[in-house]
Amino acid sequence: MTTTETDTQWQHLTERWQELADFSGIGALLGWDQSTFLPAGAAGDRSRQQSLLAGLRHARATDAEYGKLLDAAARRSDLSPEQTRMVQVARQDFEKATRLPAEFVREFSGHVGQSYSAWTEARPANDFGRMVPYLEKTLDLSLQAASYFPEFADPMDYYIDESDEGMTAEQVGQVFSELREALVPLADAVIAAGAPRTDFLARGFDQGKQLAFGERVIRDYGYDFRRGRQDLTHHPFMTRLGGHDVRITTRVKENDPTEALYSTLHEAGHALYEQGVDEAFLGTPLGGGVSAGVHESQSRLWENLVGRSRAFWSAYFGDWRDTFPEQLADVTEEEMHRAVNTVSRSLIRTDSDELTYNLHVITRFELERDLLSGKLAVRDLADAWHAAYERNLGLRAPSDVDGALQDVHWYFGSIGGAFQGYTLGNVLSAQFYAAAEAANPGLEADIARKDFSRLHGWLRENVYRHGRRFTPTELTERATGQALTAAPYLKYLREKYSQLYGL
């Protein structure tokens, strides 16, 4: 093959990639608008437009000509390491999009619709039994889907790899076991120490002022409003609408200002990651965050390790009290810091705090793993749920409504891999933060004077700019010098909560 031919081929590939990225951006706009501003009557129009666009994108992402371009590129020996990785990632995406037979995808998706619809009735009726046959079929289909990827010995590995490339059930399971052993007694001790004062949070905080405050903080963090914006939605999220358009959303509660603030900081963390990807990778397969776990590590880092720290409130409490002088007249900086670090036992994952959230996730991960391995039968899931909650959280739901019927994920076709990223993110957040601190001694003092430049700079240099250039494992090892490890996270939690609760 001549150089001219190969260059033309490469040109075609990059055009394809830009086109696929633009399709994704348009799709993201359709979704963003649906959540922010779409008039109520237009839901049907929007869903048809989304199907049209998704169909066009899928056709372009899976057509044979594209597959040939990728195969030809994979045979080339003259590509740079970045180009080689682009082709590798694109081929993985292509395989995942093409290997499942269309007929099977249709069957699965039809079943999921029925299962979801049944769940919306079975949950309020506390009727887990009704969901057993649906969930059994979902499990069968999930195992069949995984079987199209025989390179994964364990089906759970296939599902973990979908969102956290290269990680395995065994690796995640070990980290999670270690976490559980440490977190259960730590949560017990914190809760026994008594709850901090939170009465003042319900004193009616002006919504506009709340939003303006959060936006001031994330501007300090380094979020670039020239390439993004914040709006209100029911469920906060971050979305990429283009190479230079990474938007976030939040929600506001008048009688709990921590809701808007921490939603904003969380989504801004995701956005800092996306905004930090190397300009040269935008519009290529490498132009985005690398995995669910690494992504969540950045939202958690900016939300929790920075935003719930003593140094953060030392920096911002003055502004905070200036913004809400009446509501905070009798509140000290320390009380504010303690209030945003309340720990309590809860039956509901989405209501839980930094510490116990992991126990909700680990419980689900272990149940999913046992379902996929055949160790746990679907009909025994509800009882297994209660037993696991008693063991891990010391609580038993009064019914299956807040037990095995709690989350939509399993009933919407997603068994395996749906939850683990959240806790992997927590673990990695501390691992990255510790490495950033080792390279930049005195980071805490930076935060206390609202100077995030060294922290943001280190993260951009070691994590953000790489996009999908490395696997999550490679990225973690390059940035922190070691593989995924729970030690920094446990150290962070123990120190923080010992100090806060005088343990």
Residues that constitute the known binding site for Zn(2+): 266, 270, 296
Q: Select the span of 3-11, 14-22, 110-118, 391-399 touching a second copy (CB under 8 A).
A: 14-22
Q: How many residues bind a second copy (CB under 8 A)?
A: 36
Q: Distance between CA 206 and CA 338 in Å, rounded?
A: 22
Q: Distance between CA 25 and CA 22 in Å, rounded?
A: 5
Of 357, 330, 322, nearest to 343 by C-alpha is 357
Question: 16 with 283: CB under 8 angstroms?
Answer: no
Question: Which CB atom, from 137 or from 229, has the smaller least distance to a second copy?
Answer: 229
Within 51-110, the residues that bind a second copy by CB under 8 A are 52-53, 56
Of 77, 94, 58, nearest to 6 by C-alpha is 77
Least distance (Å) from a second copy to the CB of residue 368?
37
Question: Which CB atom, from 12 or from 494, has the smaller least distance to a second copy?
Answer: 12
In sequence order, what DSSP letters do the residues of 286-309 get, joined into one string? TSS---HHHHHHHHHIIIIIITTS
Least distance (Å) from a second copy to the CB of residue 21?
9
Of 389, 364, 367, nearest to 376 by C-alpha is 367
Question: Which CB atom, from 44 or from 398, has the smaller least distance to a second copy?
Answer: 44
Q: Select the span of 18-26, 87-95, 306-314, 339-347 touching a second copy (CB under 8 A).
A: 18-26
Q: How many CB atoms lie within 10 A of CB 40?
A: 5
Question: Which CB atom, from 33 or from 444, has the smaller least distance to a second copy?
Answer: 33
Question: Which CB atom, from 33 or from 477, has the smaller least distance to a second copy?
Answer: 33
9, 31, 38, 444: residue in contact with a second copy (rule CB under 8 A): 38
1, 4, 41, 192: residue in contact with a second copy (rule CB under 8 A): 41
Q: Select the span of 37-45, 345-353, 405-413, 429-437 touching a second copy (CB under 8 A).
A: 37-45
Within 241-270, the residues that bind a second copy by CB under 8 A are 241-245, 247
Question: Which CB atom, from 6 or from 35, has the smaller least distance to a second copy?
Answer: 35
Task: List the 238-242 sheet strands across, edge first.
Answer: 230-232, 245-250, 238-242
6, 14, 35, 46: residue in contact with a second copy (rule CB under 8 A): 46
Q: How many CB atoms lie within 10 A of CB 98?
A: 16
Within 217-246, the residues that bind a second copy by CB under 8 A are 224-229, 231, 241-245
Question: Which CB atom, from 123 or from 247, has the smaller least distance to a second copy?
Answer: 247
Q: How many CB atoms lie within 10 A of CB 108?
A: 18
Q: Select the span of 48-56, 137-145, 314-322, 464-472 touching a second copy (CB under 8 A).
A: 48-56
By CB under 8 A, tell whether 25 contacts a second copy.
yes
Q: Out of 162, 259, 267, 368, which one is annotated catalytic?
A: 267
By CB under 8 A, tell whether 31 contacts a second copy.
no
Binding site listing:
266, 270, 296
By CB under 8 A, tell whether 42 contacts a second copy.
yes
Least distance (Å) from a second copy to the CB of residue 127?
35
Least distance (Å) from a second copy to the CB of residue 207?
14
Burial class from Cβ neighbours inside 10 Å (0-12, 13-18, 19+) for residue 191 reads middle
Q: Distance between CA 111 and CA 142 in Å, rounded?
A: 11
Tokens of 204: 């009616």
Question: 249 with 237: CB under 8 angstroms?
Answer: yes
Backbone angles phi, psi at 240, to 5 degrees: -100, 115
Question: Which CB atom, from 16 or from 456, has the smaller least distance to a second copy?
Answer: 16
Q: Distance between CA 287 and CA 299 in Å, rounded?
A: 18
Eight-class DSSP state of 344: -
Question: 367 with 381: CB under 8 angstroms?
Answer: yes
What is the pairing mode between strands 230-232 and 245-250?
A: parallel
Least distance (Å) from a second copy to the CB of residue 465?
17
Is position 267 annotated as part of the catalytic site? yes
By CB under 8 A, tell whether 206 contacts a second copy.
no
Least distance (Å) from a second copy to the CB of residue 52?
5
By CB under 8 A, tell whether 37 contacts a second copy.
yes
5, 45, 65, 351: residue in contact with a second copy (rule CB under 8 A): 45
Least distance (Å) from a second copy to the CB of residue 34?
10
Burial class from Cβ neighbours inside 10 Å (0-12, 13-18, 19+) for residue 22 reads middle
Least distance (Å) from a second copy to the CB of residue 267?
15
Tokens of 66: 């594209």
3, 4, 44, 234: residue in contact with a second copy (rule CB under 8 A): 44
Tokens of 184: 């259960």
Instruction: Map residue 153 onto helix, strand or coil.
Output: coil
Task: Let me know the angle formed at the C-alpha of 405 by 115 and 345, rounded to the nearest 5 degrees.
Answer: 155
Eight-class DSSP state of 452: -
> Which positions touch a second copy (CB under 8 A)?
18-19, 22-23, 25-26, 29-30, 33, 37-42, 44-46, 48-49, 52-53, 56, 224-229, 231, 241-245, 247
Catalytic residues: 267
